[in-house]
Amino acid sequence: MRFDYIIVGGGAAGSVLAARLSDNPGTTVCLVEAGGGGNSLLVRAPALMAVMLPGRPRVNNWAYRTVPQPGLNGRRGYQPRGRALGGSTAINAMLYTRGHPRDYDEWADMGCEGWDWQSVLPWFRRAERNMRGEDALHGHDGPLRWLTRAPRG
């Protein structure tokens, strides 16, 4: 087969890229992911991330170990990394966070032009499908479906 694009890795970024490229019906995309489909109960039920995170057994988790770290007295670090469609988002209990606005402003102050909070906020809003509706900080028609706050009333 021939494809216009081959994307290796179906993590969050690879999946979004494949979806966006596929919006054009004339474009063919092949997404290659080493793990499974990421649609098992282990992924869909946030509390079950406790089963995947330890990496024993390696369920949806590559469970990498670092080389011995001098700053850790020679101990090796544990690096859980997702092994399923969705990548590490498949093992993070469905948690979504953007970071603090001051962090983005600090990056811009250090020279990362366009990374200040006001510049990145529209991109966050564009990506979100907030189930409670649109407001000044949250979008409503993007591909990321999520709930931002507790119900009112």
CATH of the domain at 114: 1.10.1220.110
CA-based radius of gyration for the chain? 19
Residue 22: per-residue pLDDT: 95
Instruction: Say whether both 75 and 40 belong to one domain.
Output: yes
Q: What is the pTM of this model?
A: 0.66
Residues 67 and 132 reside in one and the same domain: no
Quick one: 82 and 117 in the same domain? no
- Residue 80: helix, strand or coil by DSSP? coil
Domain annotation covers residue 153: no
For residue 132, being part of any structural domain is answered with yes
In this structure, are 14 and 84 located in the same domain?
yes
Domain annotation covers residue 152: no
pLDDT reported for residue 38: 85
Domain boundary among 60, 91, 122: 91
Q: Judge whether 124 lies within some domain.
A: yes
Q: What is the residue range of 44's domain?
A: 5-91
Query: Is the preceding omega at residue 57 within 30 degrees of 0, hence cis?
Result: yes
Same domain, 77 and 41: yes
Q: Is 106 in the same domain as 141? A: yes
Q: What is the pLDDT along the chain (153 residues), one digit of tens a residue?
A: 999 999 999 988 898 899 989 999 999 999 999 988 888 888 888 888 888 888 888 888 999 999 999 999 999 999 999 999 988 888 887 677 788 999 999 999 999 999 999 999 999 999 888 888 899 999 998 887 765 554 444
Q: How many domains does the chain have?
A: 2
In this structure, the answer to whether residues 65 and 85 fall within a common structural domain is yes
Q: Establish if 27 belongs to a structural domain.
A: yes
Q: Could you tell me if 123 and 136 are in contact, meaning their C-beta atoms sit under 8 angstroms apart? A: no
Q: Does one domain contain both 58 and 37? A: yes
Which among 71, 91, 111 is the end of a domain?
Answer: 91
Residue 148, token pair as written in the block: 């931002």
Q: Are residues 16 and 87 in the same domain?
A: yes
Same domain, 85 and 108: no
What gap in Å lies between CA 99 and CA 89, rounded to an integer? Answer: 16
Q: Is residue 96 part of a domain?
A: no
First-to-last alpha carbon distance for the chain, in angstroms, is 55
pLDDT for residue 147: 59
